[in-house]
């Protein structure tokens, strides 16, 4: 079955599933004051996640990314990875993490079925990393990334938010980082949310700055895979790794959208910067009854008819997204 096609002909094979809103870092662009618990339903359990992913797979999803918050604050994250990996037809099980305990657990996550790993590293300067995240853990995070490479995690990438304060040496530092590491570093344009307006005004930099630098240094764009995320990646014959750009403010960014999002409470989000969503949770319960999966599939497919062509970030409209930890970024 392959029913995940919206009104603009876009086909969806990639699900970003948040498993928690909790984060233990205090990144300046997202949660500078740390995570603050709010009232609301509990996060999806392992069995609910299993039912959700099974239904999405029936609809054509082949890749699932576990996000947060910080997904690894959940003590059952290994069980979640295994449950997703056990769904027939799911070819890639990915996770995005801040890497705070990566070196301790990556081997068990790989054994559970993890195939793709994204590690957030916003600076390779220890002092800047500490200032940006609130934690002096750069060495441990990099050690965890190197361990992931050593044990054979098939795809390892780095996410770095593009900030005005880190422009001076950031590109060349990360280029050296991937000289001998088969890792893709993707710079992400800072995105405006409801809570970061002043920070955004001070720190936002266009991705064109990176594209200009890459062209000057002899990097060239590579062909995208069908289940790739929104990054355009560049390669260079002298470097084992790649450098990429995720530019949500660029023209046509949403034209090739191939991913859907479900929040940690089971809400289907049609756009990260949209409003509201479609609740799926009532059909994920163990007692939802016979035919619940078919009803769930129908609800998801019907919801896609309301997916907009694109976001409205250029007009400073971030929907009801307070911060990126809220819906998984």
- Beta carbons within 8 Å of 38's beta carbon, 6+ residues apart: none
User: What SS3 state is found at 242?
Assistant: strand
Residue-level pLDDT at 192: 83
The whole-number pLDDT of residue 33 equals 86
Evaluated on CA atoms 77, 258, 313, 266, the torsion sign reads negative
Mean pLDDT, the chain, whole residue set = 89
What is the rounded distance in angstroms from the CA atom of residue 234 to the CA atom of residue 28? 28
- The CA radius of gyration of the chain, in Å to the nearest whole number, is 19
Judged against a pLDDT cut of 80, whether residue 320 lies above it is answered with: no
* 289 pLDDT tier (thresholds 50, 70, 90): confident
pLDDT greater than 60 at residue 241: yes
Mean pLDDT of the region 240-269: 85
- Mean per-residue pLDDT, 179-205: 90
Q: What pLDDT sits at residue 152? A: 97
Check whether 93 has a pLDDT greater than 70: yes
Please give the pLDDT value at position 82: 98
Residue 324 has pLDDT above 70, yes or no: no
Q: Which element (helix H / strand E) includes 129? A: helix 126-133
Across-strand partners of 156?
Answer: 117
Work out the angle at residue 19's Cα, subtended by the Cα atoms of residues 100 and 72, and round it to the nearest 5 degrees: 20
Q: Taking the alpha carbons of 78, 142, 248, 2 in that order, is the dihedral positive or negative?
A: negative
Q: Does domain 14-327 have CATH number 3.20.20.70?
A: yes
Q: pLDDT tens for residues 15-67?
A: 999 999 999 999 999 888 888 887 678 999 999 999 999 999 999 999 999 99
Among 57-61, 230-234, 291-295, 320-324, which is the least confidently predicted range? Answer: 320-324
Instruction: Find the helix or strand (DSSP H, E) in which 96 lies.
Output: strand 92-97
Domain extents for the chain? 14-327
Distance CA 259, CA 256 (A): 9
Mean per-residue pLDDT for 100-104? 95
Indicate whether 310 pLDDT > 80. no
Residue 146 sits at φ, ψ, to 5 deg, of -65, -35
Question: Can you give the pLDDT at residue 66?
Answer: 98
Catalogue the E-assigned strands of 141-209. 155-162, 184-189
pLDDT value of position 247: 82
Helix (H) or strand (E) holding 300: helix 292-303
Output 72 or 276, whichever has higher pLDDT.
Answer: 72
- Give per-residue pLDDT as tens, 257-274: 888 999 999 999 887 666
Q: What is the pLDDT of residue 321?
A: 56
**pLDDT score, position 311:** 64
**pLDDT (mean) for 280-309:** 89
Length reported for the chain = 329
Q: Is the pLDDT of residue 131 over 80?
A: yes
Residue 163: its pLDDT value, please? Answer: 94
Other beta carbons within 10 Å of 272: 21
Q: How confident is residue 315, by pLDDT bands cut at 50, 70 and 90?
A: low
């Amino acid at each position: 079955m392959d029913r995940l096609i919206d009104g603009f002909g876009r086909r969806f094979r990639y699900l970003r599933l948040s498993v928690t809103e909790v984060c233990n870092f205090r990144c300046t662009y997202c949660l500078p004051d740390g995570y603050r618990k709010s009232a609301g339903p509990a996060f999806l359990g392992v069995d609910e996640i299993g039912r959700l992913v099974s239904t999405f797979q029936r609809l054509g999803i082949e890749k699932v990314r576990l996000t947060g918050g910080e997904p690894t604050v959940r003590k059952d994250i290994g069980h979640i990875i295994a449950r997703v990996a056990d769904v027939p037809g799911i070819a890639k099980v990915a996770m995005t993490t801040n890497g705070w305990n990566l070196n301790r657990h990556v081997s068990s996550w790989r054994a559970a079925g993890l195939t793709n790993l994204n590690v957030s590293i916003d600076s390779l300067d220890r002092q800047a990393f500490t200032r940006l995240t609130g934690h002096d853990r750069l060495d441990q995070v990099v050690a965890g990334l190197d361990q992931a490479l050593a044990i054979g995690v098939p795809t390892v990438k780095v996410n770095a938010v593009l900030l005005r304060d880190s422009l001076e040496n950031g590109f060349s530092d990360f280029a050296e980082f991937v000289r001998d590491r088969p890792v893709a570093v993707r710079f992400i344009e800072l995105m405006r949310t409801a809570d970061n307006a002043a920070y955004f005004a001070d720190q936002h930099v266009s991705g064109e700055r990176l594209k200009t630098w890459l062209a000057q240094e002899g990097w060239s764009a590579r062909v995208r895979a069908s289940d790739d995320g929104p990054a355009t990646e560049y390669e260079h014959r002298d470097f084992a790794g790649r450098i990429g750009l995720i530019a949500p403010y660029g023209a046509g960014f949403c034209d090739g959208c191939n991913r859907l999002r479900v929040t940690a409470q089971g809400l289907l989000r049609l756009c990260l910067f949209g409003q509201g969503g479609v609740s799926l949770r009532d059909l994920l319960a163990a007692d939802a009854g016979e035919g619940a999966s078919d009803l769930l599939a129908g609800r998801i497919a019907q919801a896609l008819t309301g997916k907009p062509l694109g976001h409205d970030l250029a007009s400073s409209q971030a929907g009801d997204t307070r911060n990126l930890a809220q819906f998984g970024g």
